[in-house]
Structures are given as C-alpha cells and as structure tokens.
Structure 1
Amino acid sequence: SDSTWDAHRSVSDDVGGIYLMASEFERYASRMASCGGLLRFGWSTLKETGETRLRLRSAEFCRVRHCPVCQWRRSLMWQARFYQALPRVVATYPDSRWMFLTLTVRNCDIADLGDTLTAMNAAFQRMKVRKEFRPVHGWIRTTEVTRGNDGSAHPHFHTLMMVPPGMLNGKSYVTHAEWVALWRDVLRVNYDPNVDIRAVKPRRPKNGESLASVTAELVRGAVAETLKYSTKPSDMVADPEWFLELTRQTHK
C-alpha cells in the first residue's frame, strides 16, 4: 500500500542522513537517496481468478544492506519464493510438523558484533551435525540484531524448522534444557544461553478444508515472522553512532 511504502521510504531518508555523517558511507547515502525513485507499473491478469490488477514491472533499488526499503522488499521476495514452493513441500512431507527455534547469546559490545556473529555461525554449523538436530527435514534461518538499552548489540537467530512428528512428542523429542545444553556446547561458552523452542500448531480444519491447506496457511504466517528485518529501522535511527558501527561490523 502507499502508506506502507511511504513509511519505509521516510525512514530510508533518515538512515541515508546518518550515512551522510560518515565519509566512508557517503556512497551508501547517495544510492539510498534515489532508491525506488523510478517505479514502472503494468497491468497483469491473475490466472486463477482472471482478475486484472496493476503490478510493479521494474524499479531501481539501491541494494544497500541496511536500507529499510530494500530490507522490506527482500523480505517480501523471500516470502514469495517460499510460498511458491510451499504446496509442493507440504504434499511431499504431509506428516511433517513445524517448530520455531530462537538462539541467542549474551549481549556484546557493538564493536565486537562481527566476531560474535562469526562465532554464532560456526556454532550453528557444528549444531547441524549433532544427533539432536539430525532428524530435522529442513529449515530457514535469519539473523537479527537489536539494540540493547545500554547501547550493546543483541544478535540472535530465528529458525523455522520442518521436523518429523517424533521431534514434538516421540523418540526424537528434544527438551528445552537439552536445546540449551546443545547450543551452549556448540557455542563453546561457559554460561547457559537463552533458547526459545516452540511448536507451530495448526488450527482444526473447518468443513471442506484439508489439513494440508491449514498447514500451508499456518506456515505462511510463521515464515512472515521469520523472514523479517535483520535490524529494526527504529534501532537504526535511535543511535546514529551505534548504527554506523553496526554497518562496519556487518560489511567486513
């Protein structure tokens, strides 16, 4: 909608203004200033309904990693790709269940964010081959970094997993305490990190609905939650120096 576009475009102007403060990022500010400035639309007919509507045909986006407009567009693109594949996935694995797994570490100094993310990614690679994780059929994972009240950085992984039913209540079940111990072990830290694990539970099918269609509807919502911003725009503009250092740490 126009209001959603305008909101993202407005905060992109704010973020571009922050990049103008640092000579090393002036090129990002320049690219962001013209992001989405030229949009070409055309009429398109939906095969399923025959409905004709205006659709975006082409546009010029800046592709700066932390541009709010491009983050939003990227999120929508990955959601669309997943939704396109979802019916085939549900049909191929009709008995599969879905789980949210959020993996965190202690807040770090923003200047240590790059090293912390490197350690977290290495830990996840180690976790993939552990027996607790091996039954997982597949997953999508995103990284989010939020700003702590004290100016620290809080990096964490959001993971949506497709799992066999046994991981919810059968022989492959992993307790919350076991997830914490596993993540601590692969992180190689001396504290218990916060881990959130929960099943994505479908509602009961209504008359005429199949379990597959209800599951697909449920997973679409879960995907939208998982594939969100890597950094909230509000965190970007709240502390310019914090955001500039975030850019340095994530562009190495």
Structure 2
Amino acid sequence: MLSGERLSAIRAKVNRAQCSQNKKSATLSSVSINGDRITERKKESFKTANSFIIRGKIEENETLTKRGERSLNCAQQRYVVVVNGKAHTVFTHRCRSRHCQNCQRIKAFVWQEKMKEIIPELSINFKNGKYLFITFTVKNPKITNLRLVLKCMSRAYAKMFQRKAFRFVVGGIRSTEITRGKSGDDEAHPHFHAIICLKTTYFKKENYLSADEWGRHWGECLEAEFKKEGLEYNAADYPKGFPRVDIRVAKSADGKQEITNKNIAEHGDQLINYVLKYSIKGSDLLKDGKADKWFWEFDKQVKGIRMIAPVGVVKKMLADLERDQFDYYKEQEKIEKLIADDVNFKADKAVFKKEDDFDYYMESKKDRFQYIIEAIEAKAYNYQCYYKALLSDHLLAFRSGIDGIIENFKKIKNTKTREGFEILEKAEMGLVKIQCERIERLQFICDALVRVGLYKKMSDFEYVNIHTKDKTTIAKNNIVGVMKAVEEKLLNDFNQDFMRLENAKSQDVFNTVVDRVNEKSALIKLVRNEILAAGAYAYDADNCEYIDLETNERLEVIATIE
C-alpha cells in the first residue's frame, strides 16, 4: 500500500475536483484519446473468444471452450490512469493468446522496448552503422502448408545471413506478418519485416548488394529448405525467378533523415514499432467478424511457431538484457512519476460490459487514489501467490534435507570402523552443500516476496509477513548455519520426547521414550562438536557447557537419562 506520507504528498499537489461527466455513461473512449484503440482491440478479441466457446460447445471440445473463456476474461476489467488525455493501463489480467489483440499489442510493446534498450550499446559499438528496412516475401502457400512454409522461411532467413555476402551485417530483428491471401480463399500471405544494421563498408560499390541480389540469396536458401520439407519450389512462379525482397534505406518518420546508430534513438521509434507490431491484424483474423474455415486452419498451423527473431549481435544483446522484475515499490514510483505533470489526472476501473453497447464503462465508485492502490495490489497479488507457493515447496525440501543429515549422524554414531566413518563424513559434507544451495534459493524467494510487497526484511536472514506478522527465518548458508538448523530440529524433537515421559502409561512405553531421548541427546552432542570444530562454539569443560561465540550465550546442557 502507498505509504501515508507518500499519499499525502501526492494529494497535496493534486486538484481533487470531481469529474463533471455522467459517471454511469462515461466510457474509456470518452475520457481518453486512445480509448477507441484499446476498446477496438478488446472487441476484436471478444469476437474471437466467442468463436472458440461456440465451436468448443458444438464439438464438445473442452480445450477450445477453455481457450475461449480465458480470452473472454482477458482485460475484462482494467485499472487505468488517464494522464493528459491518454489512458495508461496500470493492471489487467491477460490471457496471452496468440489471437488476442490486447496481449499481442503488449507483447509487441515489450519487444519494442527491448530493442530501444539496446540501442545505446549498439550505437557505442557500431557508431557508424546504418539501417535497412527489408520485407521478405514468398509465394502464397495453401493455408494447410503454412506451418511448414513458416519453418522454411525462418531457417532460410537464418542461413542467408551466414553467407559471406552478408558479412557486413551487424545484426537486426525480424517479425512475421500473416494476412489472408488475395489470390485464393484457401491461401495465406506470410512475409517478414526486418530492420537490419549494416557496417558502412557495405555501402561501398564493391560490397553493395542490390535488391535482386538479396532476392537471389533469399530464393536459394528458401529453395534448399523447401526441398528438405518436400515442398514444391518453382522459380517460374516469380517474375524474376526468385521471391521479391523489398529493400529501403531506413528513414525518419518525415523521410528527411537516414537512420544510423547516431540518430536511431531520436528518429527510429516509428520504424522499430512498425517492424515489431503484430503477427496478424484483428480484421484479417476473422472474416466479417466471424471465425471461418481459414481461421481454424490458421489456428492449427501457427501453434508453437516463433514469430519474432533477432540475428547477429542484436540477438546476443537482447539475450543479455536483465529480465524486468516486478517491484511493488517501483510500481508506486512509476505511477507517481506518471501523474506528476497532470494535476487533473483520472484513475478508475474500466469494465467491459454491455449497457447501450459492448464497451469499456468507467466504474467511478472510489477515490482515484484508492484505484491506484488497488491496481498495484492486484498486480502484486499474482506474484505473491507464486512466490508463497514456491517458498512452501523449498522450505519442505530444506526440512527434508535436515532430516537426511540427522539420519546420517545416526549412522555416524553407530559406525564401528574408520573407513565407515570417513564415508559417512564425506556424505555429510555433500548433504550440507545441498542445504547451502537450498538456503540461497530460499533467500532469493524471500527477497522476491519483499520486492512484491508481502514481506518486510528484518535482517539478512529474518523476514516478516506484513499482513500476518508471521516470521520466516532462513539459516545462514554455510556449514555452521546448516548445523545450527540441525541442532534446532534435534532440540525440538528432544523436548517433545522429554514431555512424553510424563504421560507414559507403562514401563515399556517409558523405556521406549527414554531410548529416544538419549539418542537425541547423543546426536545433539555430535552436532555441537561439529559446530565447535567449525569455530562457532566454545566448550566450558568445568560446567560441561557449549558457548555460542556469536551471541556469548551458554547453551542448555542436554543430559542423558540413566
């Protein structure tokens, strides 16, 4: 939740005048300049989702029905902040379907941002690099062959850049776009859009490749891949004997400047956004708003196909990017930064439903700051559930590992030979190493729970749940930390067994419990000697006491019952 000080600071700067619009009838489009685009994408996905549900019910196909229901619920409600007239989605549930226009837009945006993130490094390493915008085509295949053709295109594209003629290519990225083939209702029109960075030496006369030369290389690589898959490739299908490759020098939006690594940060946004847009338009996906035979075949053909692929140094740079992890407190800062320059910003929940028509209607029931808080908490909730489950699983594995070490100590206590002792001691070191690795993972998970707003870190190894106040303590990831965890488990077991002595109802039961108590006592002594040997405990022989050198605490003497 936003801190009281932070919330007060924001409120002090903002004019809290109420919106004069009719709250019941206000739509996302009526309060934001980009509301129409957001709503249209939802409407297109809504139609596609319904198509899956209807077909699933007709065919009694549960998989199709679930896919449709998941897409139907995608972005059904979205928390939005409207700043300077533009709506920004703070949080919404996503289905991640390839046919969902909302999710494909988000995916495209992520790729666009990744490309923009590597531009500074690209500009430093290849400061004079220039760019080409290229479209690679192929003869329209039958929709039933689309999958194989896409695979051939991907492999041909990769192999083409391995040829000597393309040694001047620094790197680039390409995306796949598919439209309905105009030459036949049973065809598709797949093509690649690519932005390619080239060394300036490429543009010298002896190194330069014309569009036809690009086309020949593309055609040769395609033909080889088509033959591998048993597909027909006929050069006579193309006017020049090879597929058309459209090559243009990449230019700024106004067409006045050629894009280079010196100015791409300033002028390259539009081109990058165009190349990394979508795989198929919503208007092309359905025919007259309905799923037809072409759509259902398309759905089968594109399953698992990779639509975006980098090449060259761009591929490595993108792979080296750190994954952007959700941080509850950074999300607060992002929102504060977003609304800082608009005192009249609006925050609300847009709900897709039917009143006059299917549209995003603004809920307008709460204070706008409450909507911001709810949005961040809703976004954090999924991460919190994931890491809580992960923590539970890893704590279970750690406890199981402690039990394994205790079993090994039992064997050490009972071993009679030097050889057996050495084998068991080696096994102990292996078990301790595994536990140290588990502790590292536990600490990572607890730190993640801090990052997503559920835990507060009290010290390097102690965390507290903000809501329940429950504490989670992680052992130190070294032999002393692991052995102290073993000691703690044995002490708990010892105390529980000792308490059972009072309730023993027969001599046999009493003797059995005494044996267990004495065994635990002996094991505790073995473990404390291990910690003593590691230099973390001292031993006071006069009082038969172990002393924890870190805390100067004298440990309880665990006696054996005679």
**TM-score calculated relative to the size of structure 2:** 0.40
Q: Distance in 2 between matches of 1:114 and 1:157?
A: 14
Matched, 1:66 2:110: no
Aligned match of 1:39 in 74, 78, 94? 78
The letter for the 1-side match of 2:286 is V
Structure 1 residues 212, 117: CA separation in 2 closer, same or farther (over 3 Å shift)? closer
1:1-252 residue pairs with structure 2 within 5 A?
1-23=34-56, 24=61, 25-40=64-79, 56-149=89-182, 150-151=184-185, 152-188=187-223, 189-191=233-235, 192-202=242-252, 203=256, 214-238=263-287, 240-251=292-303
Q: Distance in 1 between matches of 2:257 and 2:104?
A: 34
CA contact (8 A) 2:251 2:257 kept: no
Structure 1 residues 244, 235: CA separation in 2 closer, same or farther (over 3 Å shift)? same
Structure 1 residues 165, 13: CA separation in 2 closer, same or farther (over 3 Å shift)? same
- Residue 209 of structure 2 aligns to a residue whose secondary structure is coil
**Which deviates the most, 232-241 or 2-11?**
232-241
Q: Distance in 1 between matches of 2:65 and 2:163?
A: 44
**Which deviates the most, 35-44 or 182-191?**
35-44
- Residue 105 of structure 1 aligns to a residue whose secondary structure is coil
Q: Distance in 2 between matches of 1:3 and 1:108?
A: 35
Q: Deviations over 1:65-88 (max 9, x none)?
A: 111111111111211222222233
Structure 1 residues 135, 37: CA separation in 2 closer, same or farther (over 3 Å shift)? same
Structure 1 residues 212, 135: CA separation in 2 closer, same or farther (over 3 Å shift)? closer
**1:208 paired residue number:** none
Q: Distance in 1 between matches of 2:297 and 2:170?
A: 37
The letter for the 2-side match of 1:28 is R
Residue 128 of structure 1 deviates from its aligned partner by 2.1
The letter for the 1-side match of 2:188 is A
Q: Deviations over 1:197-222 (max 9, x none)?
A: 111135359xxxxx866432332111
Q: Distance in 2 between matches of 1:134 and 1:194?
A: 22
Q: Distance in 1 between matches of 2:73 and 2:128?
A: 47
Aligned residues: 240
Q: Distance in 2 between matches of 1:201 and 1:8?
A: 29
Residue 190 of structure 1 deviates from its aligned partner by 3.2
Structure 1 residues 116, 43: CA separation in 2 closer, same or farther (over 3 Å shift)? closer
- Residue 62 of structure 1 aligns to a residue whose secondary structure is coil
The letter for the 1-side match of 2:117 is Q
CA contact (8 A) 1:168 1:199 kept: no
CA contact (8 A) 2:46 2:72 kept: yes
- Residue 231 of structure 1 aligns to a residue whose secondary structure is coil
Higher relative CO (CA 8 A, sep ≥ 6), structure 1 or 2? 1
CA RMSD of aligned residues (A): 2.5
Q: Distance in 1 between matches of 2:202 and 2:170?
A: 11
Structure 1 residues 102, 217: CA separation in 2 closer, same or farther (over 3 Å shift)? same
CA contact (8 A) 1:158 1:226 kept: yes
**Greater helix content:** 2
Q: Distance in 1 between matches of 2:164 and 2:145?
A: 31
The letter for the 1-side match of 2:45 is S
- Residue 165 of structure 2 aligns to a residue whose secondary structure is coil
CA contact (8 A) 1:98 1:163 kept: yes
Q: Distance in 2 between matches of 1:62 and 1:165?
A: 44
Q: Deviations over 1:128-150 (max 9, x none)?
A: 21112222111111111110132
Q: Distance in 2 between matches of 1:201 and 1:169?
A: 19
Q: Distance in 2 between matches of 1:186 and 1:212?
A: 29
Residue 42 of structure 1 deviates from its aligned partner by 7.2
Unaligned runs of 5+ in 2: 1-33, 224-232, 236-241, 305-562
Q: How many percent identity over aligned positions?
A: 28
Structure 1 residues 214, 135: CA separation in 2 closer, same or farther (over 3 Å shift)? closer
CA contact (8 A) 1:184 1:190 kept: no
Structure 1 residues 40, 103: CA separation in 2 closer, same or farther (over 3 Å shift)? same
Residue 173 of structure 1 deviates from its aligned partner by 1.0
Structure 1 residues 133, 204: CA separation in 2 closer, same or farther (over 3 Å shift)? closer
- Residue 193 of structure 2 aligns to a residue whose secondary structure is strand
Q: Over alpha carbons, which structure has the higher Rg?
A: 2
Q: Distance in 2 between matches of 1:212 and 1:133?
A: 19
- Residue 160 of structure 1 aligns to a residue whose secondary structure is strand
CA contact (8 A) 1:41 1:54 kept: yes
